[in-house]
Amino acid sequence: MMRPCIKTGRAPRRGVAVVEFACALPLLLILLLGLWEVGRLLQVKQILANAAREGGRQAATGIKSTAEIQQYVRMSVKRAGLDITNMPDPVVTNLTSASRNDPRTANQLDRFLIHVSMPTASFRWVLFQYTAASLDAEATWVSLADIPLGDATEVIPD
């Protein structure tokens, strides 16, 4: 037994889904690339913050010089997978006394600021232009250098 074909009065809608997908695809790609790039920005910001913190830890010990701390921060960024060829030198500043800028000569409880910067052209994946020319991170640490003890032969008064 054959069923009669019922006409609905509408024309066939073949290919409509393909046309809608073709119209929506550019918007979806732009959103996907934007999410990808924001994720990269957050990743690099975290890498720079970690490098600044590690540099602050090294400055707090009072064992390494400013140049050694700068090299340590640069190597920390490089180990994380970023290209450091265009990266400016990290800045190590004694906030307590500018005359004791080298962590080896710092007094106990001197505050050190480590500033790390990376140009956005060094790490972006997509050709988006950012409003900022560089991404920065800072860390502040307190020097934990030991207080020098007196001579062992010294007599302590009562």
pLDDT tens sequence across 25-55: 999 998 998 888 888 889 999 999 999 999 9
* pLDDT band at residue 152 under the 50/70/90 scheme: low
Q: What is the pTM of this model?
A: 0.77
Q: Which helix (H) or strand (E) holds 58?
A: helix 16-61
Distances (CA, A) of 98 to 72, 92, 103: 22, 11, 11
Domain 26-142 is of which CATH architecture?
2-Layer Sandwich (3.30)
Is residue 94 within 8 Å of 112, Cβ to Cβ? yes
Q: Does 73 score more than 90 pLDDT?
A: yes
Which residue reads 């046309």 in tokens?
19
> How far from each other are the two terminal CA atoms of the chain, in whole angstroms?
120
